[in-house]
Amino acid sequence: MRLSGDAGQIYRQIIREIHSRVRLDGAKLPLKPKSSREEIERMREKLRAFTPHDIPANIKPLKVKKEYLNDRILFVREEDIDKVAKLNLCKIDAGEPGLRIGREFFELETDEKSNTALEVIVAPEIYVKAVYENLENLKALADLMLKAFGSSVVPEVLSEVEKIAPLMERARLAGRIEEIVAEEALRLNRRIEEKISELEVTIKGERILELMRGRVPEIEELESFIAEEVIESERKIEEITGINAEIFSRSYPVEVNTVAVDRIKAEIEEEAIIELYKACRPVAEKIFRLLPEINREVEKAYELEFLRAVKEFCSGFVFPEFSDCIAFVNGKHLFIPNPQPVSYAVGNSEIASGKIAILTGANSGGKTSLLELIAQMQIMAQMGLPVNAEMAWTDVVDELFFFKRKRGVQGAGAFESAVRAFTRALLGKGRKLVLIDEFEAITEPGAAVRIIAEFLRIAHEKDHYVVIVSHLGKELSEMLPFARVDGIEAKGLDENFNLIVDRQPKFGRIGRSTPELILEKLYRKAKGEEKDVLERVCRSVRD
C-alpha cells in the first residue's frame, strides 16, 4: 500500500512504537503495509501462531573477520598472483601451488581455486576463531532454535569447535607468553620483598647486592629463599607452557631472561600453529558451508523478537474482518493519553453507509484526531496487525492519502500545493482511502465549496473511500446527494465555561459549530453594554 501525504508520518509513529519494545537492535525489522490480502493473512497467521520465547540479548550474526597471517606463505602460479593477492590473507609468492607454515608444506588440490575456498584453506583459523569467540552467543541461539523450531545446525558446529578448543588456547598462549612471564616476575619480586621485610634486613638495596656478591654468610638464608622462589615460578611457567627453561635470574631484583622467553614462544608457535591449522581445516570447511544457515537462524531469532514486540504493542487489540467498508467500534487513538473511544465507518457497514463522508463540527472537537485514528486503523490492518478497537472491518486499498492541514500555512502557495496533492490522490488506478483535513481553510469559502464538491464527485466516480473535515457540510450536502455528513458536537459549556465535547460523531447530522458556544461563553461572562451587544449577535446566529 502506498502511503502518501502525511500517511507516512502515521506509519513511522507506529513502527517506532513497535521498535521501542524490541530488545535486540538487529530485530528492529521493517513491516510495511501491504496491498495483497494474501500477504496480510500471512502476517496475521504468524502472529496467531506465535508462541513467546525468552530471546537472549546476546544473539547476533556470525561474522568472520579477515586477518593477515604472518606465519605462512601461499605459493600460486605466476598468473594467479594478482587475483589471489586481493584476499590479503598472507604473503604470496610464485611457485608450485601450496601453503608453507613453519617447516611444513601443504599442497593445494586442483579444485581449491576460488577465492572463497582459498580463504578456508589458507586461513581456516579465522573461521574457527569466529565461532570460538562467540560460543556463548551461539549456544543461546541453538537453544532458542531448538525450543522454537525443533532443530538447529549450530550444535553441529559447536561440537567440532569445542573439540579443538585446547589447541586454540595453546595457539593463543604464544601471543601471551611475554605478559604471563612479566606478571609472574612481578609476583616473584614481591614475595622476595616480603621475605626481606620479615628478616628485618635494614641494609639498603645497593648494599644487599654487594653483600650477595661477596657471599656474606648473613645473607645465605635470603639467597636460598630467592633460589627456591625462582624455581617455583619457573615451575608455574612450565605448567602453562609445557617447556622447561631458566627464565629468571637468581639474584634480587629478579630479571627476565628474554632469550629464553623468545625460545619458548617460538617452540609454542611452531608446534601449536601447525597442529591448529591441521585441526581447523575440516572444521572451517563445515563452518563455511553452514555459515549462511547459521545466520538465517539469527534472522529467525530476530523475527521472533520482533513478533514478541508486536504482540506486546498490540496486546488487547483485535484483527479486523475483511469487508467492503472501513469501520471500527470503540476505536482508540494510539498516541493520545486516555482517549475517548470512537466508532466510525465509511463504506457499506452496519454502523453507517456511504463511501464519501464529510466530517463537521466543533473546533478542537477531535476531527483531526479521528482522521489520524482512521489512518492508524488502516495502516495497521494492512500491516497484518490487530487494531485498537472492540470490533473492526477493513477493505484492502492500494493507497492511503492523508492531507493534514499545516497550521499557519496560508496563501496562494499553500492553496496550489493542496490542489496538487488532492489531484494526485485521485490519479491512477486502484482503490484509495483519502483523508482530507480542512481543505477550505487555505482558500475562499465560496471557491472551496465548488472545488471540494468536484473533487468528491471524481472520488465517488472512482469508488474511493473519502473522509474530509470541513465546515461547509451544509453547502456540500446540497451539492452532493451521495455524500454523508457527520458531526462532532460541542454539547455546551461547563461551570468554568469550557467546551463540553462529545467526540463521537453523529452520523448523518451536521455538527453544532463552536462559534455559537464561544459567543454564548462571552455573553454569559459579559456585563453592561457589552452584554447587550453580544446578546444581539447570539440571537442572530441562532436565527
- Please enumerate, by residue number, every residue annotated as part of a binding site: 361-368
Strand partners, 5: 402
CA-to-CA separations, 475 to 52, 260, 354, 358, in angstroms, rounded: 54, 101, 18, 11
Three-state secondary-structure class, residue 394: strand
Peptide bond into 56 cis (omega under 30): no
- Residues near 62 by beta carbon (within 8 Å), at least 6 away in sequence: 130, 131, 134, 138, 291, 294, 295, 298
Cell (9 digits) for 309: 514486540
Count of positions (residues) in the chain: 543
Q: Which amino acid is at 442?
A: I
DSSP element (H, E) containing 463: none
Cell (9 digits) for 279: 585441526
What is the C-alpha to C-alpha distance for residues 43 and 386, in angstroms, rounded to an integer?
10
Cell (9 digits) for 222: 635470603
**Contact at 8 Å (CB) between 130 and 62?**
yes
Helical spans, DSSP H, in 199-257 = 205-213, 220-241
Tell me, letter by letter, the H, E, C secondary structure of 59-101.
CCCCCCCCCCEEEEEEEECHHHHHHHHCCCCEEEEECCCEEEE
- Interior angle at CA 14, CA 10 and CA 18, nearest 5: 165
Cell (9 digits) for 528: 453592561
Number of Cβ atoms within 10 Å of the Cβ of 266 = 13
- Can you say whether the dihedral through the CA atoms of 524, 526, 529, 535 is positive or negative? negative
- Interior angle at CA 412, CA 408 and CA 415, nearest 5: 70
Cell (9 digits) for 204: 639498603
Number of Cβ atoms within 10 Å of the Cβ of 464 = 23
What is the C-alpha to C-alpha distance for residues 508 and 12, in angstroms, rounded to an integer?
33
Binding residues for ATP: 361-368
> 365, 364, 361, 397: which is closest to 379 by C-alpha?
397
**Contact at 8 Å (CB) between 378 and 13?**
no
Strand partners, 357: 467, 484
Q: Which amino acid is at 212?
A: M
Cell (9 digits) for 304: 521472533
